[in-house]
Amino acid sequence: MFLGFLVAVTLVCGIGAFYSPAHDPTWWNSLNKPVAMPPGWILPSIWMAMYVAMAMSVWLVWRSAPWHRTGSAQLLWWTQLTLNAMWMPLFFSAHRIDLAVVLMLVLIVAIGATISAFRRHSRLAAWLLAPYLAWVGFLAVLSMQVWQLNR
């Protein structure tokens, strides 16, 4: 089943790769960006590490108990993964930085809820999501700054 979760996060990673700054480089390059914006070459590596940790996390919960005990926690995981998949197209294709920021704030809440639910089944699973929460929080701040700099 780990492979199935890995495929799911890989699909989301693929969406992110398609809807990246390369999707519309003219628009992306025209934006004012905050000084804390990391170089573009490092982002795919960070995301790949986050996605592998996410897959490992949900797999640990999945194997910890039957569905009737872990199902709600797993549904939270699928919810945050869906929100994650929606962010890049909203930001880089629709150019709706404002809505992307709102979506990221909802994503942060969903990740926090997932961590809380996972903690009941596996502390390691919860801890595996902590860097992801921090990373999305950092990206939310950067997105807010991009929005403010380009209004």
What phi and psi, each to the nearest 5 degrees, are found at residue 106?
-65, -40
| Buried/exposed code over 61-83 (b: 16+ C-beta within 10 A; e: otherwise) | bbebeeeeebeebbebbebbbeb
Query: How confident is the chain (151 residues) per 10-residue block, as mean pLDDT?
Result: 94 91 91 94 93 98 93 97 96 96 98 98 98 98 97 90
95: left (phi over 0), alpha (psi -120 to 50) or beta: left
Full domain range(s) for residue 111: 2-32+39-149
pTM, two decimal places: 0.95
Q: Please count the structural domains in the chain.
A: 1
In this structure, what token pair is assigned to residue 74?
A: 């797993």
In this structure, what token pair is assigned to residue 149?
A: 């700099």
Give pLDDT, residue 143.
97
- Rounded to whole angstroms, the Cα distance separating 7 from 74 reads 16
Give pLDDT, residue 124.
98
Question: How far from 44 is each of 12, 47, 48, 68, 141, CA to CA, in Å?
Answer: 12, 5, 6, 35, 19
- Rounded to whole angstroms, the Cα distance separating 69 from 14 reads 31
